[in-house]
Amino acid sequence: MKVAIGCDHGGINLKDALLAHLKEKGVEYEDFGTYTKDSVDYNDYAEAACKAVVNGECDLGILVCGTGIGMSIVANKIKGIRCGHCHDVFSAKMTRLHNDANVLSFGERVIGAGLMTEIVDAFLFTDFSGGERHIRRVDKIKALEERNFK
């Protein structure tokens, strides 16, 4: 498994904790920045990481900004991305089980590193349930993208 990582200046401390956690777990990742605390636009880093998921270079993505909200809004504008914005373990697990989410977002100004690692593990190590009704709903999301995204 390879995970695409993106953050802005508002998420860089929590991203550092995330990278340390992934290293400890032996999970491969690519860090698409940002790499300093200089103010940047979250849009650019969400897009770079999500593109790596869409083109198959990475299997899943994790985005961190101040709240995780800006990153999730951008991510969900990208065709093929289903981003779950999660600050609890239950939601992180359910967004894989029911939504087949391929990107997770959260905010450094919202949660601490301890909870973040549990959320990340729930997201990375839970598979899509594949149940008939969930497949139908994910397929409807894909059909909606076809109708609305150029």
Confirm or reject binding of residue 105 to ligand RB5 (CB under 6 A). Answer: no
Backbone angles phi, psi at 107, to 5 degrees: -120, 135
Q: Give the Cα separation of 22 and 78 in Å (integer).
A: 25
Residue 8 · residue 69 · CB < 8 Å: no
Residue choice 14, 65, 120, 124 for contact with ligand RB5 (CB under 6 A): 65
Strands (E), the chain: 2-7, 28-31, 60-65, 83-85, 103-107
Confirm or reject binding of residue 106 to ligand RB5 (CB under 6 A). Answer: no
Which residue, 65 or 120, is less far from ligand RB5 as judged by CB? 65
Residue 60 · residue 3 · CB < 8 Å: yes
Q: Write out the catalytic residue numbers.
A: 65, 98
Residue type, 50: C
Considering CB under 6 A, how many residues would be counted as binding ligand RB5?
A: 9
Which residue, 10 or 84, is less far from ligand RB5 as judged by CB? 10
Residue 70-89 contact track with ligand RB5, rule CB under 6 A, x = bound: x-------------------
Residue 101 · residue 84 · CB < 8 Å: yes
Residue choice 4, 5, 6, 10 for contact with ligand RB5 (CB under 6 A): 10
Minimum distance from residue 70 beta carbon to ligand RB5 (Å): 3
Residues near ligand RB5, by CB under 6 A: 8, 10, 42, 65-67, 69-70, 107
